[in-house]
Structure 1
Amino acid sequence: MITISPKDMTMAEKLSTMEILWNDLCQHSSFESPNWHESVLNSREQQYAGGAQLPMDWEKAKQQIRNKTE
Structure 2
Amino acid sequence: MTTINIAELPVAEKLRLMEALWDALSAQAEQAAVPAWHREVLAQRLQRLDGGTEPVTPWTQAKERIRAQVRAA
* TM-score interval (norm. to shorter): 0.5 to 0.7
Identical columns (%): 31
More relative contact order in 1 or in 2 (CA 8 Å, sep 6+)?
2
CA, structure 1 residues 47+22, in 2 after alignment: closer, same or farther (shift >3 Å)?
A: same
How many residues end up aligned between the 2 structures? 67
* Structure with the largest fraction of helix: 2
Q: Which residue of 1 aligns with 2:9?
A: 9
Q: Moved runs in structure 1, 4+ residues, more than 4 A?
A: none
CA, structure 1 residues 62+37, in 2 after alignment: closer, same or farther (shift >3 Å)?
A: same
TM-score calculated relative to the size of structure 2: 0.54
User: Structure 2, unaligned stretches of length 5 or more?
Assistant: none
CA apart distance, 1:22: 6.2
What RMSD over aligned residues (CA atoms) do the two structures have, in Å?
Answer: 3.4
TM-score calculated relative to the size of structure 1: 0.56
SS in 2 for 1:46: helix
Matches within 5 A, 1:1-70: 4=5, 6-18=6-18, 19-20=20-21, 23=24, 30-66=31-67, 67=69, 70=73
User: Structure 1, unaligned stretches of length 5 or more?
Assistant: none
SS in 1 for 2:17: helix
